[in-house]
């Protein structure tokens, strides 16, 4: 009996261990939504609050990850990412925003569909929850990562000397953020102060320019992986600022999107 129970537990743990992790993690999405909420126009904030409740976009930021196994939106798993092959040209990467790739996720298609639905006045609470979440996923490097390793999920990594206890995707979704020790509100406020002078720059950039910027970052992450010495502190030192920049960009661009919807 004990042996049978042990086997069942091991199988269950193995299943959990192999599951893909959530985009940006809970803290990451809250950071993005806090930055976005702070940068909404009065009209946009009023409309979003009417749909999600006051500051609801922060509190509901992780709902689309939480319902991935629910039958309410059975196809929504693929909405969270748009993976690419390595070594692509900038023009091919940009083209993905217009001619949605047949493989590697449906993030861009989903975002365009959700945005148009809300603009047409046909959106509901679920539409808005997906929009604010997926807009953040768009700027997560490991949601633009390689198809052949499932967005970094198959790239095993040792984190603080624990032998291959995590993967590249999880490092970018959660580990780097957690390594800084901030609450989501502290982190958001810190990033808004640090990058305030670059806000206009981010607003002026096109979606295509930002997509290429993210793709180049992803490629640099993969390249670094080949020479990384396994020291977690070295990894955090090298990548926490690029990660923070992506969080800030995601927040400002989400605010821009909502401000444009509710002009």
HSE-CB at 67 with a 13 A cutoff on CA atoms is: 17
Confidence of residue 11 (pLDDT cuts 50, 70, 90): very low
With contact defined as beta carbons under 8 Å apart, do 23 and 80 qualify?
A: yes
Residue 82 token pair:
């748009």
> Domains plus CATH for the chain?
22-261 (1.10.575.10)
Where are the strands (E) in 111-177, listed by range?
156-159, 162-167
What phi and psi, each to the nearest 5 degrees, are found at residue 150? 55, 50
For 93-129, what is each residue's pLDDT tens digit? 999 999 999 889 999 999 999 999 999 999 999 999 9
Structure token digits, residue 114:
């959700």
pLDDT at 206: 97
- Cα(105)–Cα(29) distance, integer angstroms: 19
Q: Reply yes or no on whether the pLDDT at 12 is more than 80.
A: no
Q: How confident is the prediction for the chain on average, in pLDDT?
A: 91
**Predicted confidence (pLDDT) per residue in 156-174, tens digit:** 999 997 777 899 999 999 9
Segment 59-101, tens digit of pLDDT: 999 999 999 878 788 889 999 999 999 999 999 999 999 999 9
């Amino acid at each position: 009996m004990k042996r049978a129970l042990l086997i069942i537990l091991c199988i269950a743990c193995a299943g959990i261990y192999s599951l893909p992790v959530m985009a940006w993690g809970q803290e990451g999405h809250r950071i993005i939504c806090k930055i976005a909420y702070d940068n909404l126009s009065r009209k946009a904030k009023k409309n979003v609050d009417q749909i999600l409740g006051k500051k609801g976009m922060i509190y509901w930021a992780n709902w689309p990850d939480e319902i991935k196994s629910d039958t309410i939106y059975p196809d929504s798993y693929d909405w969270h990412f748009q993976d690419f092959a390595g070594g692509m040209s900038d023009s091919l990467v940009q083209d993905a925003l217009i001619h949605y790739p047949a493989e590697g996720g449906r993030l861009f298609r989903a975002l365009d569909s959700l945005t148009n639905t809300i603009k047409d006045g046909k959106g509901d609470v679920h539409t808005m929850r997906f929009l604010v979440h997926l807009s953040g996923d768009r700027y997560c490097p490991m949601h633009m990562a390689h198809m052949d390793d499932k967005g970094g999920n198959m790239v095993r990594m040792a984190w603080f000397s624990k032998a291959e206890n995590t993967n590249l995707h999880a490092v970018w979704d959660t580990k780097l953020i957690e390594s800084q020790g901030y609450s989501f509100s502290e982190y958001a406020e810190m990033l808004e102060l640090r990058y305030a002078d670059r806000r206009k720059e981010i607003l002026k950039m096109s979606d295509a320019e930002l997509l290429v910027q993210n793709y180049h970052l992803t490629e640099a992450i993969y390249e670094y992986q080949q020479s990384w010495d396994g020291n977690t502190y070295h990894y955090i030192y090298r990548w926490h600022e690029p990660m923070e920049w992506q969080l800030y960009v995601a927040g400002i661009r989400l605010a821009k999107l909502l401000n444009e919807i509710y002009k």
